Structure 1
Amino acid sequence: MKICTKCILPETYPGISFDENGVCNFCKEDEVKKKEAIVNFQTENELKNCLEKYKNINKKYDVLVPLSGGVDSAHTLIKLVKEYNLRPLAYHNDNGYEHETAVNNARKLCKALDVDLVITQPGSTFLKKLWKYLHESKAYGIPSCYVCANIIFISAVEVAERYGIKLVINGYSKGQAQVMKDTVMGVNMLKAMYQITRNNGDKEFYEEFVEKFEKLSKVITYREKEDLKKNVDLDKILVVPFFIFKFNKTDKEMLKSEIRKVFNWEHIPYSFPSRTTNCRMNWLNTYIDRIKIGYCSYDIEFAELIRSGEITREQALEDLILNPPEGMVEKLADEVGVNLNSIKPLTKNKV
């Protein structure tokens, strides 16, 4: 399969084209965007000053910080406590497929920082149906983990709303932040998911799905400096990806070294991509996505990390090698109710 010689996006990615050197149009467009980019925060002190307005809106918490148990979100929480002097409520979402090491990392860190931690473990029925319907659908260009990431994003918003917190700062990498900011992908995903959920005849699931995504109307996703310079909108929740700023780097090894000065962070035995702390369902989702559409959500994220200089192309290709533990994909498929033999490549742009 042909992939971009600069990033790693494959020829199956929607809207992609290549020049005579094998460089994709998204890499070329990125160069233009950088030249035309709106000025962002140039220094960390400037960002800190803008966040001051969110202090003491709530009697107990200034910010909600989602914790995966990985190095990025752990580093984010440590910085916000020790350097930004914010009062966080930490939040961990256990979807039933998290490794216990990830959950323990969240617990240990919050104990070390004396930070309150909320762990939610919602019933697995909704997510199992979500994965099953996605995997059995003919919708092209909707990576499974991208849809699931939106559900986790919404869950954090629900917790913030419950506790009256107006600011959420997560540990999204620059790649994740750009993917979540992609309004075209977001709209296409919603259209496809509404169609999928309507067509399967599961009214209860459809209504729950719609109800979840309606909560996005209460969210402002950080896109530019002005989003933080404005006065606080008490009717909205501002979500800020911490690593979107140029002075925050997602260097896994450096971050690992820094957070281990605070607590005994442990790597989970196996995860995809490598060097991450993701749930086991990533194995199945990626396996099926790469058969159906030839790429997964992490290929999109890592392509952006390469463009932003956060990771080398060689390291990205290494991290994205799919090598699941023996029997893992089959076990997960059985739990979700998906017949792996029925998964076939889709025609590009077919919905």
Structure 2
Amino acid sequence: MAKHICSRCIYDEKVPNISFDGEGVCNYCRQIDGLEQEYPTGVDGAARLQQLVDDMKAAGRGKKYDAIIGVSGGCDSSYLVHQMKEVHGLRLLAAHFDNTWNSTIATENIHNVLEKLGVDLFTIVVDNKEYDDLYRSFFKAGVKDLETPTDIGLATTLYKAAEKFGIKYMIEGHSFRTEGVAPLGWIYMDGKYIQSVHQQFGKVPMKTFPNLWLRDQLKWMLFGGIKKIRPLYFMDYDKEAAKSLLTEKYGWQWYGGHHLENRFTAFYHSHFLPTRWDIDFRIAGYSAYCRNGWMTREEALRLMDEPPHIEAGLVDFVKKRLGFSDDEFRQLMTMPKKTYRDYRTYKKTFERMRPFFWLMYKMDLIPKSFYMKYTAKS
């Protein structure tokens, strides 16, 4: 039987919580339509972005920095550093969470862009044995959210740096126009979830990992007043043009695909999710390109038929570094599947706090995507 595919993008019935309207358009496309209305580009977007820049400069008066920005060596964050510093004249502090799995290209990209722009870097480096133990724990937990510690670690790194330097604005490099919106059923993350999984399966004490506890998140939001903003929402962002500019100006290098600048993240997206969970995250990016008319649905479906790009020998490298034998790895990849619901999380707390988080989103203290995905009953 043929799959039911959205008439506008290439999301199909396998995508969690999907529905289709009378025109055959999926609810995720309609969600993006709402974001398009809320975050315009063009003349209106430029005016909104200029207002944000003015606000950041006002908040940074008398301080060393106007804003903080997370960097990974990837295209989006590198381009944003260029735009915010070179074009808009902001005094930036870059922040990086080093989970010790960076590719050489990513490390060089961070160094090249920041050095040429004269941007300072704040880094938290986790102990590699401790972090590998966290990855092993998530493998053994049977869940799909192996990269939760990386996302949480970066969020905490940004908050800690902002607190240390009295920075009131946090710049994030996400763009719903190029990345789409990932369904909640694909990925879940929070600090209590990490603690729960590690307590059950971990062996190395968590001492250097910067976990994000709800009490700290609330402290930074309410008393720190640290606003989270996404400038790409207001920009006519052409990713291919951005890559060319970065290469020409900073010697920046492309690493083969979205999320592939980190070796474990590359393994996660190119091997673990497709092989164990039948999830290919490329569908989100290709669907976004279809919505914008940058790619035809036929072209997107053809690209989805091609296997994901993966570095030769990467799976063996991950097995060796994490200390898994071939048999143990095979067992972990075929064991009964579990979800975040099988562990302690903040999810029910987020749901109970939905009205509060709505207010936080309206005040730019959390992104709308957090409110939409994490506070909805599931």
Q: Tell me, yes or no, whether TM beats 0.5.
A: yes
One-letter identity of the residue aligned with 1:333: K
Q: 2:274 aligns with which of 269, 290, 301?
A: 290
One-letter identity of the residue aligned with 1:335: R
- Quick one: structure 1 residues 198 and 12, their matched pair in 2 at CA, closer, same or farther if it must change by over 3 Å? farther
- Quick one: structure 1 residues 204 and 99, their matched pair in 2 at CA, closer, same or farther if it must change by over 3 Å? closer
Residue 2 of structure 1 and its aligned partner are, at CA, apart by 4.6
Q: Is the 8 A contact 2:75 2:242 kept in 1?
A: yes
Residue 26 of structure 1 and its aligned partner are, at CA, apart by 3.1
- Quick one: structure 1 residues 30 and 45, their matched pair in 2 at CA, closer, same or farther if it must change by over 3 Å? closer
Aligned position for 1:258: 245
Aligned position for 1:336: 322
Q: 2:303 aligns with which of 310, 318, 337?
A: 318
Aligned position for 1:248: 236
- Structure 2 CA distance for aligned equivalents of residues 8 and 145 of structure 1: 25
- Quick one: structure 1 residues 118 and 46, their matched pair in 2 at CA, closer, same or farther if it must change by over 3 Å? same
Give per-residue Cα distances to partners, 1:161-181, cap 9 Å, x unaligned: 22221111132232688648x
Give per-residue Cα distances to partners, 1:33-76, cap 9 Å, x unaligned: 368x4465723133212332322345210011222222222221
Determine if the alignment matches structure 1 residue 121 to structure 2 residue 115: no
Residue 255 of structure 1 and its aligned partner are, at CA, apart by 0.5
Residue 83 of structure 1 and its aligned partner are, at CA, apart by 2.2
Q: Is the 8 A contact 2:153 2:209 kept in 1?
A: no
Give per-residue Cα distances to partners, 1:222-271, cap 9 Å, x unaligned: xxxxxxxxxxx7622112223222x331x332012223443222234xx4
Aligned position for 2:360: none
- Quick one: structure 1 residues 175 and 121, their matched pair in 2 at CA, closer, same or farther if it must change by over 3 Å? farther
Per the normalisation by structure 1, the TM-score is 0.74
- Structure 2 CA distance for aligned equivalents of residues 333 and 107 of structure 1: 29
Is the partner of 2:65 in helix, strand or coil?
coil
Aligned position for 1:98: 102
Determine if the alignment matches structure 1 residue 133 to structure 2 residue 137: yes
- Structure 2 CA distance for aligned equivalents of residues 151 and 302 of structure 1: 27
Aligned position for 2:157: 155
Determine if the alignment matches structure 1 residue 88 to structure 2 residue 92: yes
Is the partner of 1:43 in helix, strand or coil?
helix
Q: Give the share of equivalent positions with the same residue, in percent.
A: 21
Q: Is the 8 A contact 1:272 1:282 kept in 2?
A: no
Residue 112 of structure 1 and its aligned partner are, at CA, apart by 1.7
Specify every segment of 5 or more residues in structure 2 that has no aligned partner in the other structure, as ranges.
343-378
- Quick one: structure 1 residues 10 and 46, their matched pair in 2 at CA, closer, same or farther if it must change by over 3 Å? closer
Aligned position for 2:49: 47
Aligned position for 2:228: 239
Determine if the alignment matches structure 1 residue 279 to structure 2 residue 262: yes
Computed over aligned residues only, the root mean square deviation of the Cα atoms, in angstroms, reads 3.9
Per the normalisation by structure 2, the TM-score is 0.70
- Structure 2 CA distance for aligned equivalents of residues 206 and 311 of structure 1: 46
- Structure 2 CA distance for aligned equivalents of residues 215 and 272 of structure 1: 34
Specify every segment of 5 or more residues in structure 1 that has no aligned partner in the other structure, as ranges.
221-232
Determine if the alignment matches structure 1 residue 200 to structure 2 residue 201: yes
- Structure 2 CA distance for aligned equivalents of residues 83 and 219 of structure 1: 29
- Structure 2 CA distance for aligned equivalents of residues 102 and 171 of structure 1: 16
| Residue range with higher mean Cα deviation, 293-302 or 56-65 | 293-302
- Quick one: structure 1 residues 291 and 171, their matched pair in 2 at CA, closer, same or farther if it must change by over 3 Å? same
More helix by share: 2
Is the partner of 2:171 in helix, strand or coil?
strand
- Structure 1 CA distance for aligned equivalents of residues 85 and 227 of structure 2: 19
Residue 202 of structure 1 and its aligned partner are, at CA, apart by 5.8
- Quick one: structure 1 residues 297 and 197, their matched pair in 2 at CA, closer, same or farther if it must change by over 3 Å? farther
- Structure 1 CA distance for aligned equivalents of residues 20 and 102 of structure 2: 38
Residue 104 of structure 1 and its aligned partner are, at CA, apart by 1.8
Q: Is the 8 A contact 2:40 2:233 kept in 1?
A: no
Is the partner of 2:96 in helix, strand or coil?
strand
